[in-house]
Amino acid sequence: MLKTGVIFDLIVLVLLFAMMSYYLWMVSKGKPIPRIRRIPAVDAIEEGIGRCAEMGRPIHYSVGDFGQISGEWGPAVISALNVYKHTLKLAAKQEVPVYTSLPGVAEIIPVVQGIAQSAYAEEGKPELYREDNILYYGPSAYKIARCGTVLRNNVALNVQVGVFYTEIQSHAVAAQIGAINIGGTTRWTAMYGQAISCDYVLICEEVLAAGTLVSGDPSMTATLAGEDIVKIFLIGIGVLGILTGLMHIDALINVLKM
């Protein structure tokens, strides 16, 4: 017998599993699935790289304050790394240097190095890889060090996508030297810093959508589509709950309490 109060949660979980399985099945059969809309902040990366090439100035990229690709923030970190690889590949086409700031978690170092090597190799320019451009500052100095990296190298594009506590300092420094700021984080409590200091912003779950979009992986797109169907269902339940509540009809509330 199921415990009271968890039955509706179980229904949502089953629906999520069913929708994700359905879209993954469609991918396996080569059938069309919903596409992710274009995201202005992602399009701005290419525009910013073109500006860097014209000005002869480099790019700065930060993958966030969290470096673990597992646990609560794992999906966001993976999405940030997908956007990072996308940025590197675009930069390689125009031979624009990229300085990468790492969080204070050493396990991210070989992951980022591998992604950078792979990105340059896929563009046929492995010689552009510079290990010295991937910067690890340790667990305590990385925030202020990012500011130094941005200022010292006079970057024209500052991209900081990932999981951040708060991040406004290096964006402010980049703005002072005329760089384009593109930011994004999945932590809504840190979103204000990105919103007030960036020219283009990925708002919370847009980070996951952006990582999926640039990866080109249909399986990732399928799981995102399944999640969106469940979101629509929950929004519908919420709206219906408000309407029935205003009419003093308790049937839906009783169902939600199951």
Residues 160 and 184 in one domain: yes
**Quick count: other Cβ atoms within 10 Å of Cβ 228?**
16
Whether 1 is in a domain gets the answer no
Q: What is the pLDDT of residue 10?
A: 80
- Helix 74-93 × helix 108-122 angle, to 10°: 40
The token pair at 56 is 């002869």
Q: Report how far residue 17's alpha carbon sits from residue 222's, in angstroms, rounded to the nearest whole number.
A: 12
Total domains present in the chain: 2
Residue 76 sits in which domain range?
40-215
Q: Largest Cα–Cα distance of the chain, in whole Å?
A: 69
Residues 190 and 114 in one domain: yes
From first to last of the 258 residues of the chain, give the pLDDT tens digit. Answer: 556 667 777 878 888 888 888 888 888 878 887 787 888 898 999 999 999 999 999 999 998 887 777 777 788 888 899 999 999 999 999 999 999 998 878 888 999 999 999 999 999 999 999 999 999 987 777 778 888 889 999 999 999 998 887 667 788 888 889 999 998 888 877 777 778 888 999 888 888 888 888 887 788 788 888 888 888 888 888 888 778 777 777 766 666 666
Residues 232 and 144 in one domain: no
150, 72 contact by CB (below 8 A): no
Name the strand (E) or helix (H) holding 200. Answer: strand 200-203
Residues 194 and 224 in one domain: no
171, 144 contact by CB (below 8 A): no
Name the strand (E) or helix (H) holding 98. Answer: strand 98-101
Residues 242 and 145 in one domain: no
Residues 242 and 122 in one domain: no
pLDDT digits (tens, 9 = 90+) for 37-89: 888 898 999 999 999 999 999 999 998 887 777 777 788 888 899 999 999 99
Q: Report how far residue 72's alpha carbon sits from residue 186's, in angstroms, rounded to the nearest whole number.
A: 11
Residues 174 and 149 in one domain: yes
Whether 2 is in a domain gets the answer no
